[in-house]
Copies of this chain bind each other. A is one copy, B any other.
Amino acid sequence: MLALKTPYLLFFGDEERQTYAKTGLGLAHWRPEDCVGQRRLTPDTADAGLPDLTIDEAAAAGARSVVLGLALVGGSLPSHWLPDLVHALELGMDVVAGFHTRLTSFPDLVTAAEKSGARLIDIRVPPENIPVGTGLKRTGKRLLTVGTDCALGKKYTALALHREMASRGIDADFRATGQTGILIAGSGIPMDAVVSDFLVGAAEMLTPDADPDHWDVIEGQGALFHPGYAPVSMGLLMGSQPDAFVLCTEAGRDTIRGWDDFPTPDIRDVIERNIAIAQQYNPDVRCVGISSNTVFLSDEERPGYLAGLEDTYGLPAVDPLKGDGVAPIVDHLQAQTWP
């Protein structure tokens, strides 16, 4: 499985738009201890609040990877970024990116990497030799985040749950299934890029046997009722064999984003289908909470909305960004007996 060398220098080039730089910004938010600094080519470039370093300064500070924390517009690296990246490779740092365009398609980078032995790492590329899923039970415990749709907080919720669990002394790992998550965790498998026959096997590989009290907190992908991405969610659900899952949703989202003919499914239907599929691999699987993105609610509306979810489903319902965050879900998890 892919494993990245920390600490990182975050490279933002001259990208000024926050949304295009969100991979790097998310990495700095969740793993400040892994980031020695950032490289910004202009004063208006996106800013993660880290020390501004040149490549030489980053090397002196111990950086072992340069992470391109931004989206590539139009498929090509701006040529004025190359000198920095080539220099980093020459100094032995890996260069890491999650572009559709492979880093190995840029001859200057390949040459520099070959010379120093540094690596060009495309985190969209899954590992080779993933096995077919076995369905066999593994030791340790697993929690998966699932959604009523995509892009509503499955990764954020998993990271927040992991942080809360770790802060309580629970032995836990965050298991990443997408690009930003993989950068944050330093390892993982990009599930959406895995060939279909090996999806379940990839999820099994991602969450291996562990101590009985260990929790893997697994970043969900897609959604079981999503017209494009449901098979990815199914493979991840089967292979991760969750003991527990947290349902992620967004208050007020009426249709699947980008698939406007499809209404957002009912929360109960999503919980029930996840249970129906997961029970084949773990009869005791249960939903332990609801994590809702309430960005479109006012501060007055939020408490009533969350209380309504708690009443309807008999589960703790939180906005992970508000109040006590996901703590009530971890309370609920800890209050239960696990086999």
B-chain residues with CB within 8 Å of residue A42 when the two chains form the complex? none
Tell me if A20 counts as interface (CB < 8 A to partner B). Answer: no
Contact with B along A222-237 (1 / 0, CB 8 A): 0001011111101100
Q: Are B261 and A197 in contact (CB under 8 A)?
A: no
Tell me if A194 counts as interface (CB < 8 A to partner B). Answer: yes
Nearest chain B CB to A194's CB is how many angstroms away?
5
A200–B233 alpha-carbon span in the complex (Å): 13
Contact of A194 (CB < 8 Å), options: B195, B235, B261, B273 = B195
A143–B276 alpha-carbon span in the complex (Å): 25
Contact of A234 (CB < 8 Å), options: B192, B194, B234 = B234
Nearest chain B CB to A255's CB is how many angstroms away?
11
Tell me if A262 counts as interface (CB < 8 A to partner B). Answer: yes
A228–B198 alpha-carbon span in the complex (Å): 8
> Which chain B residue lies CB-closest to A133?
B228
Q: Are B196 and A261 in contact (CB under 8 A)?
A: no
Nearest chain B CB to A93's CB is how many angstroms away?
30
| Total number of A residues with any Cβ neighbor in B under 8 Å | 32
Q: Are A228 and B196 in contact (CB under 8 A)?
A: no
Q: Are A231 and B228 in contact (CB under 8 A)?
A: no
> Which chain B residue lies CB-closest to A137?
B261
Q: Are B276 and A134 in contact (CB under 8 A)?
A: no
Contacts A192-B196, A194-B195, A259-B134: A230 and B225 contacting too (C-beta < 8 A)? no
Q: Are A195 and B197 in contact (CB under 8 A)?
A: no
Q: Are A191 and B196 in contact (CB under 8 A)?
A: yes
Nearest chain B CB to A100's CB is how many angstroms away?
12
Nearest chain B CB to A70's CB is how many angstroms away?
21
Tell me if A280 counts as interface (CB < 8 A to partner B). Answer: yes
Q: Are B261 and A135 in contact (CB under 8 A)?
A: yes
Nearest chain B CB to A51's CB is how many angstroms away?
37
A317–B286 alpha-carbon span in the complex (Å): 37
Contacts A195-B194, A196-B199, A259-B134: A231 and B238 contacting too (C-beta < 8 A)? yes
Q: Are B228 and A135 in contact (CB under 8 A)?
A: yes
Contact with B along A203-244 (1 / 0, CB 8 A): 000000000000000000000010111111011001000000
A245–B211 alpha-carbon span in the complex (Å): 44
Contacts A135-B259, A192-B197, A261-B136: A234 and B228 contacting too (C-beta < 8 A)? no
Tell me if A201 counts as interface (CB < 8 A to partner B). Answer: yes
Q: Are B197 and A229 in contact (CB under 8 A)?
A: yes
Tell me if A30 counts as interface (CB < 8 A to partner B). Answer: no
New contact pairs (7) apart from A135-B261, A192-B195, A196-B231, CB-CB < 8 Å: A135-B227, A195-B195, A197-B229, A199-B231, A200-B231, A225-B280, A230-B234
**24 pairs from A and B in contact (CB 8 Å cutoff):** A133-B227, A135-B227, A135-B259, A135-B261, A135-B262, A191-B196, A194-B195, A195-B196, A196-B232, A196-B235, A197-B228, A197-B232, A200-B228, A200-B230, A201-B228, A225-B280, A227-B238, A227-B280, A227-B281, A230-B234, A230-B235, A231-B238, A234-B234, A262-B280
> Chain A interface (Cβ within 8 Å of chain B)?
132-136, 191-197, 199-201, 225, 227-232, 234-235, 238, 259, 261-262, 273, 276, 280-281
